[in-house]
Amino acid sequence: MSDIAAAGGVRPAWRGRLGIGTQAAGTAMDTRRALQLGLAGIWMLDGVLQYQSFMYSKAFAQMLAGTADGNPYVIARPITWDATLVEHHLALLNTIFATIQLLLGLGIAFRPTVRAALAASIAWSLGVWWFGEGLGGVLNGGASPLNGAPGAVILYALLAVLLWPSDRGTPAPFTAARAVGVPVARALWLVLWLSEAWFALTPANRAPQAVSGMISGMDGGQPGWLAAILRGAASLVTGQDLAASIALAVAFVVIAAAVYLPERAAKAALVLAIVVSVVIWVIPQGLGGILAGGATDPNSGPLLVLLALAYWPSRTVTAPAVAAAAERSAA
């Protein structure tokens, strides 16, 4: 096995290909690679979940068809066609879907194929966002930050763009800005979180029992301990649904401003983003429904945490030329 020189010594070549143990390019590069590996892990989890027996039943096709409800005809008709196609060729197509997601995760984890895999993941995410999530309910009034709006799968595409392994030629204050630049990275963050605030205050989400009903609706099939947490949370916000929606919207606005704040305030707002994302994942989303069976992905919570980490301010920023050279040598 050949060795590749690294800062402070040598390391096996396979560790360089996977992006493990790279120190020469500094903290910024290590953070991006770690986040890429986190994204790869979630893609592989999606692939495993897609192999569940539930996905080989008619319920999967019915779930896909249900995302067409309330959408404009031009969006809904292709979804219905896709659901019918899946129902008629369920075993073959579901196996292909699962395998693609596993390969995307493996491709992102393996450094020589990371670019191709990230590009493929963007295309796949956009397709699934339409045909599998009905654009996250954005156009039918059903989008809510509590159920993963604007659609968990679109966050995979956003992370792939922000974690793209290239640099613009100038140091970046946080990992997400390295590939797209600071103004674009900040704008993407702002749009995402302000849209979350908007969805939290739509009529459907500020209606009586909207929040409590969404939480209580997730306890079916969950383990006893998680079902108890969900029932307790639903009881806590019963009668306070509007206040809960307003509180969420305010938190989202504060989080949206994070990337424009001084470093200390930015870190506090990013911690808030992580805490809110974890709470949303545990309570309204019930850990994405993974433990209840039938989940195709872990929902938006873990992806929002990865996203927040990609925007974490860094005092030690490596010159892009050094980082790029190290990535080329590692490949």
pLDDT, tens only, 59-106: 999 999 999 999 999 999 999 999 999 999 999 999 999 999 999 999
Enter the pTM of the model: 0.86
Asked if residue 115 is part of any domain, the answer here is yes
Asked if residue 331 is part of any domain, the answer here is no
Range of the domain at 88: 3-322
Asked if residue 50 is part of any domain, the answer here is yes
Asked if residue 330 is part of any domain, the answer here is no
- Sign for the CA dihedral angle at 308, 314, 318, 319 comes to positive
Structure confidence at residue 250 (pLDDT): 97
Q: What percent of the chain has pLDDT over 70?
A: 86
pLDDT in tens, 158-206: 999 999 999 887 889 999 999 999 999 999 999 999 999 999 999 988 8
- Name which of 211, 160, 139 is nearest 32 in CA terms: 160
pLDDT in tens, 241-288: 899 999 999 999 999 999 999 999 999 999 999 999 999 999 999 999
Mean of per-residue pLDDT scores for the chain = 87
Asked if residue 82 is part of any domain, the answer here is yes
Is residue 103 within 8 A of residue 89, CB to CB? The reply is no
Domain count, the chain: 1
